[in-house]
Amino acid sequence: MKGIEKTRNSLWSRMAGLFTRSLDEDFFEALEESLILADVGVNTALEMVEELRAVTKQKKITSPELAREALAEIAEEKLGSVQPDFSGPCLILVVGVNGAGKTTTIARLSQRFKMQGRKVMMVAGDTFRAAASEQLGQWAQRTEAQFVRGSEGSDPAAVIFDGINAARARQCDIVLCDTAGRLHSRKNLMEELKKIHSVAAKGFIGKVLTMLVLDATMGLNGLEQARVFDEAIKIDGITLTKLDGTAKGGVVLAVSDQLGIPVWFCGVGEKEDDLQPFDANAYAHTLFK
């Protein structure tokens, strides 16, 4: 899998000297430390190492190379295999902190859906900055999506409401709603998000999904963001951006395992098609190979 080379290299560089030896206490200790440094999260790292100890004992595995394979399987299990279902009329409310990559992700999703023959509506629910709506409008043009925006400072929930009506009138079956970046610690902004979500949930005839965009370079900070956004509007899936620029890609394991929220997509670069559907098997085997 593309984009997790930095995480993989950093994870295993600390272990290099241990691979010539047998599986001993040093190996397990170094592994635990490396996992924690890759932002897998302390709880998940401890669990993984415990499970690996049990499996190697049970299967009488003695070489670190074989232990790596066993570890990949443990990781894959922790990641789960829930695939997003975007069939039928579907609205995706895209949320996250400032600069996480929400607007970029919407543009990339629009391109993907268009290729699949879907008719896309983009709604500029980020009314905080005029430039934000303009940025999204340009992406709508480039990906030939329909587009609805409000004026600067207008009520984002009202813009989403208008977008839903326009999507129905123009027979769009995928509605991608952008929202302003907001810090999860800002109570009033999280209340505003609840209102936006409730308007979408009540107004849209099809499935309403919430997608949290997390910046992978923030590492475990993303876990806390996910927890708070999930409390406010119940997050259905995560897109993890900027995985290409960080050694903290282990945070995927932390959010899947500790919050049970599936990772749907990964941003792995600056180019337009650098958004990959998340593949637990490929992730686990690339990271632990």
Ligand X SMILES: Nc1nc2c(ncn2[C@@H]2O[C@H](COP(=O)(O)OP(=O)(O)OP(=O)(O)O)[C@@H](O)[C@H]2O)c(=O)[nH]1
Write out the residues near ligand X by the rule CB under 6 A.
Answer: 96, 98-104, 126, 132, 181, 213, 241-242, 244-245, 267-270, 274
When the beta carbons of 89 and 125 are compared against Mg ion, the nearer one is 125
Pick what 101 binds: ligand X, Mg ion, none; C-beta below 5 to 8 Å, kind-dependent.
Answer: ligand X
Q: Could you tell me how many residues of this chain bind Mg ion (CB under 5 A)?
A: 2
Least gap, CB of 112 to ligand X (angstroms): 14
When the beta carbons of 103 and 246 are compared against Mg ion, the nearer one is 103
CB 80 within 8 A of CB 283: no
CB 242 within 8 A of CB 216: yes
Pick what 84 binds: ligand X, Mg ion, none; C-beta below 5 to 8 Å, kind-dependent.
Answer: none
When the beta carbons of 258 and 276 are compared against ligand X, the nearer one is 276
Instruction: Give the H or E element holding residue 255.
Output: none
Return the closest-CA partner of residue 244 out of 2, 1, 53, 3: 3
Least gap, CB of 214 to Mg ion (angstroms): 14
Q: Please provide residue 106's backbone torsions phi and psi, each rounded to the nearest 5 degrees.
A: -60, -45
When the beta carbons of 102 and 149 are compared against Mg ion, the nearer one is 102
H, E, C per residue of 182-226: CCCCCHHHHHHHHHHHHHHHHHCCCEEEEEEEEEHHHCCHHHHHH
Residue carrying structure tokens 């670069």: 269
Pick what 43 binds: ligand X, Mg ion, none; C-beta below 5 to 8 Å, kind-dependent.
Answer: none
d(CA 262, CA 258): 11
Binding string, residues 60-99; x marks residues near Mg ion by CB under 5 A: ----------------------------------------
When the beta carbons of 68 and 182 are compared against ligand X, the nearer one is 182
When the beta carbons of 98 and 198 are compared against ligand X, the nearer one is 98
Least gap, CB of 180 to ligand X (angstroms): 6
Radius of gyration over every alpha carbon of the chain, rounded to an integer in angstroms: 21
Least gap, CB of 104 to ligand X (angstroms): 3
Task: State yes or no: residue 143 binds Mg ion (CB under 5 A).
Answer: no
Length of the chain counted residue by residue: 289
Return the closest-CA partner of residue 12 out of 78, 67, 80, 74: 67
In the chain, % helix, strand, coil (3-state, to 5) comes to: 55, 15, 30
In sequence order, the 6+-apart residues with CB closer than 8 A to the CB of 180 are 125, 126, 127, 128, 129, 132, 156, 189
Binding string, residues 96-125; x marks residues near Mg ion by CB under 5 A: ------xx----------------------
Give residues in contact with Mg ion (CB under 5 A): 102-103
